[in-house]
């Protein structure tokens, strides 16, 4: 088993749980987990989110091969379409069905390996995303990385989504991240409402007790979310969190030579991720400054 897990979820309207349009799927043995946030303004988006969450955990697509990805998506779209009885739809629903459902999607794949002497190596974590569900990588109660968003302001933007109906202008571009994780690390997947709140806490310097988070009962977590909603700290929206605790022997159990090699690998990995993050944030801000500049506006008006 590559990790153990906890899941928490709460519909936007606690009185109507059937209206829940997020979705999640976890397979500890395969080392995969997925989370989706269905677009509430589209028809049967919760069903579409559930189909994709299950599909990527059962057999994820190759996002770097457009042909393979297209075939994979076509199959999932056929599954969604065949699940709908069009004859049972109201007249005003049928035109909307042509637009299809939409959902964001984020999934992770954790893989393990051993050295030639049988020593367990750091596990590799790969994550793929389209939209604004987010991953938080925590070690020793410190957030090492967030993906795909690094700033809470980004949650104000309209996220890219996957549609259950093919559009001619469709351009699907998954963001990808790869890093190493160690036994005891916590990998958190959250839909946008919870992810946005979490990002704001991090930016404000609030210490989140992740160990206590892991130990919460589902009832306590749901009550906590209800209180945050009532205090206007979090949006009234479907809220979903998956917590993954990476399995394996602790670092103190390993030979000192192995731990030393791991530290060097971790330091190099952290340095590269930090540099890429700074470059990404700086580039985004530079492009925004350029878009807002008087020079560009004047040039467009000519």
Q: What is the pLDDT of residue 77?
A: 96
Average pLDDT over residues 144-152: 96
Q: Model confidence over 269-294: pLDDT tens digits?
A: 545 555 455 455 555 555 555 455 54
The residue extents of the domains of the chain are: 3-252, 255-302
Average pLDDT over residues 212-233: 96
Q: What is the pLDDT of residue 17?
A: 92
Alpha carbon 218 to its chain's center: 20
pLDDT above 90 as % of the chain: 69
pLDDT band at 302 (very low <50, low <70, confident <90, very high): very low
pLDDT averaged over the chain? 86
SS3 243: strand
Q: What is the pLDDT of residue 3?
A: 96
Q: What is the pLDDT of residue 99?
A: 86
Backbone angles phi, psi at 11, to 5 degrees: -70, 160
Q: Does position 173 have pLDDT exceeding 70, yes or no?
A: yes
Q: Model confidence over 74-115: pLDDT tens digits?
A: 999 999 999 998 888 887 788 778 888 999 999 999 999 888
Average pLDDT over residues 171-179: 94
Q: What is the pLDDT of residue 264?
A: 55
Kindly list the distances between the CA atom of residue 9 and the CA atoms of 37, 39, 78, 143, 193, in Å, as whole numbers in the listed order: 12, 16, 28, 22, 11
Alpha carbon 239 to its chain's center: 13
Tokens 């457009």 -> residue: 66
Q: Does position 296 have pLDDT exceeding 50, yes or no?
A: no
Average pLDDT over residues 28-51: 94
Q: What is the pLDDT of residue 254?
A: 47
Query: Three-class SS string for 247-301?
Result: CCCCHHHCCHHHHHHHHHHHHHHHHHHHHHHHHHHHHHHHHHHHHHCHHHHHHHC
Q: What angle do CA 270, 161, 175 make, to 5 degrees?
A: 20
Average pLDDT over residues 140-163: 95
| This prediction's pTM | 0.81
pLDDT band at 252 (very low <50, low <70, confident <90, very high): very low
Q: What is the DSSP string of 184-230?
A: T-EEEEE-HHHHHHHHHHHHTTPPP-HHHHHH--HHHHHHHHHHHHH
Report the CATH number of the 3-252 domain: 3.60.40.10
Q: Does position 198 have pLDDT exceeding 60, yes or no?
A: yes
Average pLDDT over residues 1-17: 95
Q: How far apart are CA 255 and CA 212, in angstroms?
A: 30
Dihedral sign of CA atoms 76, 82, 83, 88 in order? positive
Task: Write the DSSP symbol of residue 113.
Answer: -
């Amino acid at each position: 088993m590559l990790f153990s897990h906890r899941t928490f979820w709460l519909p936007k309207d606690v009185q109507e749980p059937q209206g829940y349009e997020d979705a999640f799927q976890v397979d500890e043995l395969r080392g995969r987990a997925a989370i989706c946030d269905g677009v509430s303004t589209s028809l049967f988006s919760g069903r579409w989110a559930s189909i994709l969450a299950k599909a990527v955990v059962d057999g994820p697509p190759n996002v770097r091969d457009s042909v393979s990805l297209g075939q994979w998506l076509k199959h999932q779209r056929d599954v969604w379409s065949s699940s709908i009885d069009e004859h049972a739809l109201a007249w005003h629903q049928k035109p909307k069905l042509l637009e299809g459902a939409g959902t964001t999607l984020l999934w992770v794949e954790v893989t393990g390996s051993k050295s030639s002497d049988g020593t367990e190596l750091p596990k590799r974590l790969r994550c793929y995303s389209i939209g604004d569900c987010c991953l938080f990588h925590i070690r020793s109660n410190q957030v090492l990385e967030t993906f795909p968003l690094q700033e809470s302001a980004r949650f104000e933007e309209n996220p890219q989504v996957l549609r259950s109906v093919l559009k001619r202008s469709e351009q699907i571009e998954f963001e990808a991240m790869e890093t190493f994780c160690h036994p005891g690390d916590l990998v958190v997947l959250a839909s946008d409402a919870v992810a946005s709140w979490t990002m704001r806490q991090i930016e404000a310097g609030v210490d989140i007790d992740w160990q206590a988070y892991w130990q919460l009962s589902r009832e306590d977590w749901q009550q906590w979310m209800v209180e945050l909603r009532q205090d206007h700290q979090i949006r009234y929206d479907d809220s979903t969190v998956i917590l993954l605790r990476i399995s394996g022997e602790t670092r103190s159990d390993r030979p000192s030579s192995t731990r030393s090699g791991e530290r060097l690998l971790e330091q190099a990995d952290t340095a590269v991720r930090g540099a890429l993050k700074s470059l990404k944030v700086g580039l985004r801000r530079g492009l925004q400054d350029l878009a807002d500049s008087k020079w560009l506006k004047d040039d467009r008006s000519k």
